[in-house]
Amino acid sequence: MNKLEWRKVFNVDMQGLVDHLDFIADMLSTTFREVYDHLIEELDEVNLVPYFTGMIMTVFISDLQDISPQIATHIFDIFLFDGHLSIFQLLTKFISLQEEEIKQMYDEDLQFYIAKQMPLDCLKKYPMYQLLDFEASVEEANNPNKLKC
């Protein structure tokens, strides 16, 4: 974890978390523009903190451990093995698979869905190896006729 500088996420200034949120904002604004616009419209500001901070800081686990401990454990194992890129790979895949559902939700339902239900829906329907296939995630984002949860 030293090599990956994961501790920066938890520093007093939380620079690692800020960097990860900026990366997510850039990824959404370029690859999933409609989702990005919808999230920003819901918050009335350019701030994705309410949607993604928990996912980053807890590697999805805080939102999934009570609902599905096996899935939470599996994600953490992959995080320990592959590092923080696995978080972004999963998030990209989740959004690509659930883009239409995200765009149809609002307010607290949207925040709950992204934080808790979206990962659970995808992780229950698809094997982890498929969800961590980054190239397939990008391909599916560019070709909406691919798999959907």
Question: In percent, how much of the chain has pLDDT > 70?
Answer: 78
Is 110 in contact with 95 (CB distance < 8 Å)?
A: no
Q: What is the pTM of this model?
A: 0.76
> What secondary structure does DSSP assign to 131-142, as a single string?
HT-HHHHHHHHH
Domains and CATH numbers, the chain: 6-142 (1.10.472.80)
Structure tokens at 122: 């995808």
Note the pLDDT of residue 32: 95
Query: Taking 60 as the threshold, does the pLDDT of residue 95 lie above it?
Result: yes
**How confident is the model over 42-93, as pLDDT tens digits?**
776 557 777 888 777 777 777 677 777 887 788 888 888 888 888 888 889 9
The CA distance from 8 to 64, in Å, is 23
Find, among 53, 46, 43, the residue nearest to 29 by Cα. 46
Cβ–Cβ < 8 Å for 51, 39: yes
User: 96 pLDDT band (50/70/90 cuts)?
Assistant: very high
Does the pLDDT value for residue 149 go beyond 70?
no
